[in-house]
């Protein structure tokens, strides 16, 4: 045996080669590079032709500057932030529930947000006083309140956070219940349906700098505690008993991460509506390609989710140019195909 054998390097002194750090680093760098490329591309894709946009970029006038920097750039930055939040939330949900099929909308957030928005629009319709109120709150605020209320209801129904199975079941019940209420309200007021449509299908078209900034701030708030608690998720991957035997407080970990999950999902849903599959696919994409611990997975899923939603946004603007598809439709198709391929590859391996 020669000392040059890679496995034997660990027998020498020095820090243990604990993970595949450099590979992870290159992977994350590739995500950032993709995001930079997509941001550039998103500036030149829009209602006007590619050549016109390119011309604007190099010889801007007052009107084109507004289109480039006040419409297209905040939209793609906002899409990235929303995707990053969904990717992060998906990775947290999958770690927390120890289930690779968990996703951010699991605990009823999406249905809660939809109900919140419906109620908000209904209120605005009903009276002037309520209109003033809802104008202050905004669709985003209503969606956030709805999402958080749904999670609170889910936790209440499952009587705490200790029983994972109860939590998941309660989430399903709450999601169905709130969707039913939303559907009934929309049936009673059919004209609301049109204003709700872009929200229910998911749309990046309404993102402004305000929205993008809000998403950015929430992303900052969410990333910090998730990274700090990522080793707790590592421990949890060995089982709940093992995690507890290592000195971890399971309720504390669950409650904190559920709060982060709700905040991230509520903010994203409030800004871009119910965009499906990004939160489910982003962590999968990371895990399928590199070996990661949860700290790397959370960062990777956020970067990957951001790039995914940016790409979906770009496709939604370009595919039936000059009209637009709802971005949620694009993510659903692409995400669905990816999951089918994943399943097919898995079954071939077994």
Partner 1 sequence: MTDRARAFAGRPTAASPTTVRPAALSADGLTLGYGSRTVLQDITFDIQSGTWTAIVGPNGSGKSTLLRALAGLATPRAGTIALRGRPLGQWSRRERARELAWLAQDSGTTNLTAAEVVGLGRFAHSGWLSSRKAEDDAAMRRAMLATGSLPWAARRVTTLSGGERQRVLLARVLAVEAPVLLLDEPTTHLDPPHQQDIARILRDQAHGCGVCVVSAIHDLSLALTADRLIVLGTAGLIGHGTVKEALNGDWLSTAFRTHVDIVELAGVYLWRPALAGATSSSTETP
Q: How far is the CB of 287 from partner 1 (least distance, A)?
A: 6
**Selection from 88, 141, 109 nearest residue 302 by Cα:** 88
Q: Which of the stretches 9-17, 54-62, 120-128, 303-311 binds partner 1 when contact is defined by CB under 8 A? A: 9-17
Q: How far is the CB of 17 from partner 1 (least distance, A)?
A: 5
For position 241 contacting partner 1 by CB under 8 A, the verdict is yes
| 8 vs 37 by CB, closer to partner 1 | 8
Q: How far is the CB of 300 from partner 1 (least distance, A)?
A: 12
Residue showing tokens 């030149």: 44
Distance of CA 323 to the CA centre of its chain: 25
Identify the residue among 125, 195, 231, 342 touching partner 1 (CB under 8 A). 231
CB 107, CB 258: distance < 8 Å: yes
The mark string for 260-299 relative to partner 1 (x by CB under 8 A, - otherwise) is ---------------------------x---xxx---x--
Looking only at residues 14 through 53 of this chain, which bind partner 1 when binding is defined by CB under 8 A?
15-20
CB 106, CB 241: distance < 8 Å: no
**Selection from 197, 57, 59, 172 nearest residue 118 by Cα:** 197
The mark string for 70-109 relative to partner 1 (x by CB under 8 A, - otherwise) is ----------------------------x-----------
For position 10 contacting partner 1 by CB under 8 A, the verdict is yes
For position 8 contacting partner 1 by CB under 8 A, the verdict is yes
Q: How far is the CB of 193 from partner 1 (least distance, A)?
A: 43
Residue-wise DSSP of 174-196: HHHHHHHHHHHHHHH-HHHHHHH
Judged by CB under 8 A, the number of residues near partner 1 is 33
Q: Which of the stretches 141-149, 167-175, 205-213, 245-253 binds partner 1 when contact is defined by CB under 8 A? A: 245-253
d(CA 257, CA 30): 28
Q: How far is the CB of 46 from partner 1 (least distance, A)?
A: 40
Mark out the alpha helices in the chain (DSSP H runs). Answer: 21-44, 50-58, 62-65, 73-96, 109-126, 128-157, 164-188, 190-201, 209-228, 230-236, 240-245, 250-272, 278-289, 294-318, 327-349
Query: Rounded to the nearest 10 degrees, what angle do helices 209-228 and 294-318 cross at?
Result: 160
d(CA 143, CA 268): 9
Identify the residue among 249, 322, 336, 346 touching partner 1 (CB under 8 A). 249
For position 248 contacting partner 1 by CB under 8 A, the verdict is yes
Q: How far is the CB of 22 from partner 1 (least distance, A)?
A: 11
For position 164 contacting partner 1 by CB under 8 A, the verdict is no
Angle in degrees, CA 30, 37, 319, rounded to 5: 120
For partner 1, the binding residues (CB under 8 A) are 7-8, 10-11, 15-20, 98, 228-229, 231-232, 234-235, 237-239, 241-242, 244-249, 287, 291-293, 297
């Amino acid at each position: 045996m020669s000392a040059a054998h890679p496995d034997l390097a660990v027998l020498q002194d020095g820090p243990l080669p604990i993970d595949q750090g450099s590979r992870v680093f290159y992977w994350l760098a590739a995500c950032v590079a993709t995001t930079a490329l997509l941001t550039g591309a998103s500036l030149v894709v829009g209602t006007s032709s590619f050549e016109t946009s390119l011309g604007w970029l190099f010889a801007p006038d007052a009107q084109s500057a507004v289109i480039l920097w006040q419409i297209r750039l905040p939209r793609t930055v906002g899409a990235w932030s929303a995707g990053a939040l969904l990717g992060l939330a998906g990775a947290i949900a999958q770690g927390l529930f120890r289930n690779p099929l968990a996703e951010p909308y699991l605990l009823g957030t999406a249905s809660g947000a939809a109900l919140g928005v419906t109620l908000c629009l209904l209120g605005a319709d009903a009276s002037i006083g309520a209109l003033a109120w809802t104008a202050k709150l905004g669709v985003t605020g209503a969606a956030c309140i709805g999402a958080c209320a749904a999670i609170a209801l889910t936790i209440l129904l499952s009587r705490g956070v200790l029983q994972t199975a109860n939590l998941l079941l309660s989430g399903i019940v709450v999601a169905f219940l709130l969707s039913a209420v939303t559907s009934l309200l929309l049936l009673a007021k059919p004209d609301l349906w049109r204003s709700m449509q872009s929200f229910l299908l998911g749309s990046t078209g309404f993102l402004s700098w305000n929205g993008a900034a809000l998403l950015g701030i929430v992303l900052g708030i969410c990333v910090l505690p998730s990274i700090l608690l990522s080793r707790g998720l590592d421990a949890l991957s060995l089982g709940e008993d093992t995690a507890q035997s290592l000195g971890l407080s399971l309720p504390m970990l669950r409650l904190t991460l559920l709060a982060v999950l709700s905040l991230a999902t509520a903010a994203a849903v409030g800004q871009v509506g119910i965009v499906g599959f990004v939160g489910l696919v982003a962590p999968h994409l990371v895990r399928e390609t590199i070996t990661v611990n949860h700290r790397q997975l959370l960062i990777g899923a956020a970067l990957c989710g951001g790039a995914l939603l940016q790409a979906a946004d770009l496709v939604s603007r370009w595919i039936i140019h000059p009209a637009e598809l709802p971005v949620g439709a694009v993510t659903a198709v692409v995400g669905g195909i990816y999951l089918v391929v994943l399943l097919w590859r898995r079954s071939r391996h077994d």
